[in-house]
């Protein structure tokens, strides 16, 4: 578990650094950066211009970054989302994996376990396996964040 935690924190740090770079790069509409379910057996970069932008029903945007299986056996999936002010990406739900949500812009309210927490730029939300939760943009600007999903149903 300690190795997985270290791996997750390392991935979250890389994602946060990548998001800083992404802000300066023009939006692309090409194929996904990594085929779904691909083995992540060698190191590589995932350039923003190779990530297709998908418009969401709530007026936001999403980019699938990578979905695959690490050499150590954990399934991982990363995506970047932009969430309009006052909205949630979906209704409250439980997940069958663990997630780190790295916020780069805006303010998210994280509802879980009967409580609510607010996270701004540079903050990280951790959603444990099986947690019923919901996020909402409670800020004054669109919220941009990357979700790092690990284990559980991410191998599908």
List, in sequence order, every beta strand (DSSP E) within 1-156.
Answer: 38-40, 54-55, 61-70, 75-83, 93-94, 98-105, 108-112, 115-119, 124-127, 132-137, 143-150
- What mean pLDDT value characterizes the chain? 82
Predicted confidence (pLDDT) per residue in 47-69, tens digit: 988 999 999 999 999 999 999 99
Asked if the model's pLDDT at residue 130 lies above 70, the reply is yes
Task: Report, as an integer, the average pLDDT of 33-39.
Answer: 60
Report domain extents, the chain: 2-155
- To which H or E segment does residue 8 belong? helix 2-22
Q: Which pLDDT score is estimated for 74?
A: 92
State pTM to two decimals.
Answer: 0.76
Q: What confidence category does residue 125 fall into, taking pLDDT thresholds of 50, 70 and 90? A: very high
The architecture in CATH of the region 2-155 reads Sandwich (2.60)
Which residues lie across from 103 on neighbouring strands?
A: 145
């Amino acid at each position: 578990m300690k190795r997985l935690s270290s791996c997750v924190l390392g991935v979250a740090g890389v994602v946060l650094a990548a998001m800083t770079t992404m802000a300066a790069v023009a939006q692309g509409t090409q194929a996904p950066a990594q085929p779904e379910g691909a083995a992540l057996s060698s190191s590589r970069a995932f350039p923003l211009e190779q990530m297709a932008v998908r418009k969401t029903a709530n007026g936001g945007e999403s980019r699938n970054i990578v979905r695959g299986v690490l050499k150590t056996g954990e399934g991982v999936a990363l995506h970047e989302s932009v969430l309009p002010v006052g909205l949630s990406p979906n209704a409250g739900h439980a997940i069958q994996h663990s997630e780190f949500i790295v916020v780069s812009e805006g303010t998210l309210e994280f509802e879980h376990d009967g409580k609510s927490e607010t996270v701004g730029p540079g903050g990280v939300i951790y959603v444990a396996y099986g947690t019923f939760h919901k996020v909402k943009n409670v800020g004054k600007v669109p919220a941009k964040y990357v979700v790092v999903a690990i284990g559980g149903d991410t191998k599908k």
